[in-house]
Structure 1
Amino acid sequence: MIKRNLLVMGLAVMLSACGFQLRGTGANDLNIRELDLSARNAYGDTVKQLRTALENNGVKVYSGAPYHLVLTNEQDTQRAATYTGGTRSAEYELTTVVSYVVQGLNNAELLSDTLEVHKMYVHDGNNITGSDLEAQRVRKEMRNNVVQGLMLRLQQLTPAQLDELQRKADLRAKAEAEQMEAARRAQDATPQQSPMEVPAN
């Protein structure tokens, strides 16, 4: 039995050393191999963690990549969910909302979405320091969840889907440009009314 367990463990180590990973156990199935990444908060922890996660999964992150992921907004909020009078403790709900956009050629918006994470924690009024540390721990966990969620959403995108979204974005841009050109021509073709002349007395 011991020999069998050692054999299984040895095979697992060998396979992991070769880069093998069971499908669904990680976010290493990304179809996007090149990506530009930016955020409104360029030095925030979320964008830093996301960059590291992408690079660890074989994605080349650099300016000028074919696709650009932009974290357009990130908000952390807190609200009291329940109160307990005598012990001065309250349960708080923490929320993190991240909005993002994926851009293609010519900064065309291919898709946009929002990711939300909610968690609860108990704030003890008799142990403010401990409660603050707990809130920080929960926020860190939520940030990890946000990064995992973004990786999973990127994992679902394929080059074919992005190419189709780019084609539709190009058609929209072309239609808008044609409408603007038609409006300009119509305005140029319309005679401009001269100022009304007031007869001299």
Structure 2
Amino acid sequence: MIPALSRVLAVLVLAASLAACGFQLRGAGDWPAQLDPVEIRGLQPRDSLYQELARGLRASGVEVVDSRPEERGVTLEIRSVDDSRRALSVSDQARVSEYELVRRVQVRLHPADGEAVDLEPLRASRTYVYDETAVLSRSEREEDLRDTMNRDLVALLRRQVEALERPADGD
């Protein structure tokens, strides 16, 4: 009974100390209200990156539309998506043993009330060990890693857009 009580007490003390220092989990992030709703161009709705963008925007409370109203919102233009895969290491039998997947995305924002803005290129990468005995599962593994990279790219996009909306230091 006493060890269980001490564990509960320890958890409560830890939670209180985290709350006292201002710690909080990173949420979905705030999408600027003047950039709502969002039209996504340059990707098909079935594309996994489109779906992750739409899911991430909706999680931030943003409406994703088929065509943006002229007077408000933003068009998010995906100018290019480049996927690459390269060998990172080779075994002593001269076979690839590790790969790196890289996804690069170029994005341009077209706000209703302003000039188009090219964002910094977004880049996400993942490394995986190649198992030649499981060749059939390689494409599934790569697809899972691309899904993870898509989530990373959406988070990077959100941070860039949030940074655009913050006033520069000294203003």
Settle same-fold status: TM greater than 0.5.
yes
Per-residue deviation, 1:4: 5.8
**What is the aligned-residue RMSD (CA, Å)?**
3.3
Kindly indicate which of the two structures has a greater share of residues assigned to helix.
1
Q: Residues 149 and 139 (structure 1 numbering): CA distance in 2 closer, same or farther, change over 3 Å?
A: same
Amino acid at match of 1:45: S
Runs of 4+ in 1 over 6 A off after TM superposition: 5-8
1:93 aligned residue: 100
In the alignment, the residues of structure 2 paired with residue 6 and residue 85 of structure 1 have an alpha-carbon distance, to the nearest angstrom, of 49
1:28-68: CA deviation from partner (whole Å, max 9, x where unpaired): 33323513222322221112211121112112333223322
1:114-146: CA deviation from partner (whole Å, max 9, x where unpaired): 101122112222221233332222222111111
Percent identical residues: 20
2:60 aligned residue: 57
1:27 aligned residue: 28
The match for 1:48 among 44, 47, 51 is 51
- Runs of at least 5 residues in structure 1 that lack an aligned partner in the other structure: 9-21, 162-201
2:124 aligned residue: 117
Amino acid at match of 2:82: Q
Secondary structure of the equivalent of 2:28?
coil
2:153 aligned residue: 146
Whether the 8 Å CA contact 1:30–1:154 is kept in 2: the answer is yes
What's the TM-score, normalizing by structure 1? 0.61
Amino acid at match of 1:75: D
2:16 aligned residue: none
Within 5 Å, give how 1:1-201 maps onto structure 2: 25-32=26-33, 34-43=36-45, 44-62=47-65, 63-64=68-69, 65-86=72-93, 88-105=95-112, 108-158=115-165
Amino acid at match of 2:116: E
Amino acid at match of 2:61: G
What's the TM-score, normalizing by structure 2? 0.70
Count, aligned residues = 153
Q: Residues 2 and 143 (structure 1 numbering): CA distance in 2 closer, same or farther, change over 3 Å?
A: same
Whether the 8 Å CA contact 2:119–2:160 is kept in 1: the answer is no
Q: Residues 35 and 89 (structure 1 numbering): CA distance in 2 closer, same or farther, change over 3 Å?
A: same
Q: Residues 89 and 125 (structure 1 numbering): CA distance in 2 closer, same or farther, change over 3 Å?
A: farther
Secondary structure of the equivalent of 2:83?
strand
Secondary structure of the equivalent of 2:164?
coil
1:175 aligned residue: none
In the alignment, the residues of structure 2 paired with residue 79 and residue 114 of structure 1 have an alpha-carbon distance, to the nearest angstrom, of 20
Amino acid at match of 1:27: A
